[in-house]
Every structure is written in C-alpha cells, then in structure tokens.
Structure 1
C-alpha cells in the first residue's frame, strides 16, 4: 500500500493550490462509449449532438468567466482538431501535470480516443502565450507499450505540502507507473489503495471520491476496504480536517472539487452545483471555513461525460514569466 520514495533534488510545488488552470472548450463533447466501459458516472441522453455541445459550451463559458472574475487565471486551450474526435477533451487534467520548477509531464491514457488529447507542444505554446513558460518536458506515455496507464490528477489526488500522492488503483492507475511518477517529481510517499462500488467495479478516477485542500480533505471512505480505509484516513487526518461523504454524495460529485488561489491570495473551492446541493449544511459550513465556495452548473458535462468541475481544471504550477 505504502511505498517510500527516494528524495529527489527537484524544486517541485511547495504550495497546495494553483492560481492558474487550463480549461478546454467542449467543442467535440459527446458521450464517450470507450470510457463508459468503466465509468459508471456517464449517462446517455436524448438530445442531439449539436444540442449537447451547445449546452456544454454554455456551461464551460460561464464557469471560465466566473473563475476569472474571482481572480483565478484561466488559460483556454483551444486545441487543434485531429482526425479522431476527442469527446472528453473538456477534462484536461487527465493527460498532463505541471510543477513549479517549470516541468510539464504527459501521461498514458487508457482509451484510444483520449490518447489523442495529448498535445504537449500545442499546450506549451498556449501556456507560454499566457505567461507560463515550460522549461522542460517529461513523458510517461511509453508505458502504453506495456498496456499500463496513469491518468494524471484524475487518478492521483496529491497532498503537495506533504509530498504524498493518494491513488485508487484501477485499469487507469497502474501501480508501477504511479510510483515512477512519484519518484520523478521527488514525492516521498505513495498511498495507493483498492476501491469497490456496489457493482463490484473499482472507482475509475480517484478524484471523484476524494479531494485535498490546504487544510481539509473530502473523501468517500466507504468505498475503500476497511483494512486499508483506516490507514488512509489516519494519513489524511495528520494535518487535514477530514470530511467524509456518502456514496450518494459521491455520485453527485461531492468528491470532485478543487481548492484554488486567486491573484489576491484568497482561496476558493470550485465545485458543481450538484455537489454544492448534495453537501449537508454542516459540510458546507466546514468547507466555507477554509475557502469561498464557488458552485457551477455543469449538469450536461457531468451527466454525459461522467466527470465534473475538478476534471475540467488542469492545474498550472508553472511560475509566471
């Protein structure tokens, strides 16, 4: 479960919250039959593709504008179209990550049409045009040759302050690739664990069941086997307020939230309106004690895509130029 990683001489992120995010407009958004094989959060709808994309684009635009209005830098990555459509491109946090020493990492995605989303050169250009320069690139995509996958901060929920990575193992989160990434960025601890939904399937992405802020954690611990659950909660509770959510709340994306920082240094927690409504008043009060809550209506995106607000935000820890 727990592997101690050797310390690396890398100046990786020493803050928990990013003040800049990448968002991708959902111009090819649609129900993705490939990812639906292990993503029980996806649902098909009766609307036409054009209707779905219009609704998704409206949700995206409101969310991006409101985040900017709050003081969070939003970089819109209007990616170049390829021969294969990328219906899940609106969820960019699954294929890249960044560190404060200027590194961009890219990851091996499990589904073929999601592998088409990995466009590091185009992303580097978009980042640099927005004042965030990439100094080096590193890729774990070669693990695809071994049919091994690691879908970035979809499967890794990271406590940057304690240099600890939490990850629910699944076909989208291979233990070997996970530990390789942790070693590359110099993070000493990997806490990996099993999960099981009522169907018996594992959680497809860790970030639908848990989120870590600077001083809090939200987690649906009932999906973790008891013998591992105690260890995970004990690790989190060392310096975080642990807010436990139910399976029903997880299904409303209460675990799919992200704490961010504004230009003024204030903290906000981005979440969907569905998640906000599903939190109890006491839980909302707990979260509000840490940061301002910012709910967004992304019902179309989360219902059809099976991911919510956190999945739409690719954190940028790169320093300003």
Structure 2
C-alpha cells in the first residue's frame, strides 16, 4: 500500500477570489485590496508555475480547468471534495460552503477514466450536507495508507461520526483530536487537519502546539512513533505560513519530494530543513495570492490519484 503517488489532479481556476462563505471559519484567509480579476490572474500565474515545477521533476499532473459558468472561487482546492483510492474506490465529500458543492464534477472523474484510470465504486457522503454535517476530504482526513490509520482534527468541517463512518468503510483506524489556533484572544478550532499536519512515508510535520489537550497530543505522538515516523514539530507561527500544508509526492525514478509553498519554506529553520532533506528533497513554489485569499496552500491544491490503471 503506497503512501505516495506520482499522479496528481489539479484544477486551474477561472473565478478565484476570497470566498466569503468559507471565511467564517477559515482564519487563514485575508482580503487583498485588489480587484477580483487581478486576484484570479495572479492565482493562475502561481498555479501554472507550480504545475511546471511539479512536471519538471517527473510528477504526472492532470490539469482540469474550472468552468466559468460555475461560481466556484475555491475550485483550486479539489482535495476537499474527492479522494481516489488504490482499490478503485472514489469518495465524494460533503462541503461546508454551499458555493463549494458545485466543485464536485462528474466530468472530472470521466477525465481520469479517459486518462486510463479505473473507477469501480463511488462512495458518496454528500447527503450529509442536508443535516449540516461535513467532512472535507483529505483536508479533514490525513490518511496513513501504509499503517491504515486516519487522523482527523474535529471542526465545523470535520464531523466525528462521519469520520468514523469513513474509517469503517475504508478500513482505517481513527485517531481523533481537536487542533486550535489563536484568533484575537480566543482559541478556535483549525478548519482543516492538513494545515497543521503533514504525513509522509517516514516522517510527520506537525504543529503539536495546536493540540491543546495534553492527552490528545500524547495520543497523536504515540501513534506516529509506534509507526516509526520521525516527528518534525513546527510552531503555530510557522503553521500560519502554511508549514503544515505540505504533501510528499513521487517524481521521476520514484524519487520522493516534499512539496510546499515558498512561504512555508521560508518559515522553516535551517535545522527543520535539514531534517526534512535527510528524507527527501524539498520542492517549493510561490503561492502568495492563493494562500492569502484562499486560506489554503500547496497540499490543498493537489488531489492525489491512487486509482489502479484500467
């Protein structure tokens, strides 16, 4: 069961802007004082440069364009609505923001089949939206595919019962906790697990300071250590620069890379960089506009394709 893949699905934006519907509980988003058309153009430039960097090291990137007629400002983050699994299963997820639900597109799945991948079964959790229950894909779920464990920081976008249901359906052992960030003078839940934690084959980058409950923090650390993973701890300030929002991918000759934004890279200490690079090279790209307006970074932009070949 591989932890990493060399095939990534990415959605090129056409209406990228700050999504007012997600800003209510995504405290990473900020308003840029420029017109939406200019924001979208900058986001497209960052997207294209990022795709070029991934392809240059041998990562297969399947780019699908967003559709103009859909008002989907966050379509650049496809990992929240879909996940693709080794056994041919595809999971579709319930989304907190109403204007994100139109991101789920059958034609995107068709495109993967046309590219030679096999989809045997679609497991659809989206009816949970009718009950106001959400679980936003691999934003909410961090999957340790080798050890069959799933990590989830509970929030308005990650429901515990639905998370347990996912784990039963896909045969993962659930590890549940809550992660917080300081907003003003309050500690509020972090909207997605994948901004405070990254799981790679042999290591994990994690903001332990965000897990306020000591027993939960110990449980997460014990689980990672039991699987032989090196823990690379980041600070809350580094997390706010998206240093938790990273993804390990495979390039040419099965070479692993840890992919992150330039802001994330710049926030790391020399010791942290050396620790990561003892496992694999780092690939970084500037995603400043996407991070500022979208409140998501490199990991959110990449939907990993683990599907079998047809």
**RMSD of aligned Cα (Å):** 1.1
Q: 2:92 matched to 1:103? A: no
Given that 1:124 and 1:133 are in contact with CA atoms closer than 8 Å, whether structure 2 keeps it comes out as: no
For 1:305 and 1:111, the matched residues in 2 are separated by: 13
2:216 corresponds to which residue? 228
2:111 corresponds to 1:126: yes
Structure 1 position 169 matched with structure 2 position 137: no
Give the match for residue 55 of structure 2: 68
For the residues of structure 2 that align with 1:257 and 1:214, how far apart are their CA atoms? Answer: 13
User: Tell me, what secondary structure is at the counterpart of 1:264?
Assistant: helix
The equivalent of 2:176 in structure 1 is 192
- Native 8 Å contact 1:41 1:303 kept in 2: yes
- Hey, what does 2:251 align to over in structure 1? 262
Deviation, structure 1 residue 263: 4.0
Number of the residue aligned with 1:146: 131
- Give 1:267 deviation, angstroms: 0.4
Tell me how far 1:293 sits from its aligned partner: 0.4
Normalising by structure 2, we get a TM-score of 0.96
Residue 258 of structure 1 deviates from its aligned partner by: 0.2
C-alpha offsets along residues 57-81 of structure 1, whole Å, 9 cap, x if unaligned?
Answer: 0000011111111111101122434
The answer for unaligned runs of 5 or more in structure 2 is none
Q: Secondary structure at the match of 1:201?
A: strand
CA distance in structure 2 between the partners assigned to 1:20 and 1:308 by the alignment: 18
Task: Give 1:10-159 correspondences, 5 Å limit.
Answer: 14-82=1-69, 84-119=70-105, 121-159=106-144
If the length of structure 1 is used for normalisation, what is the TM-score? 0.93
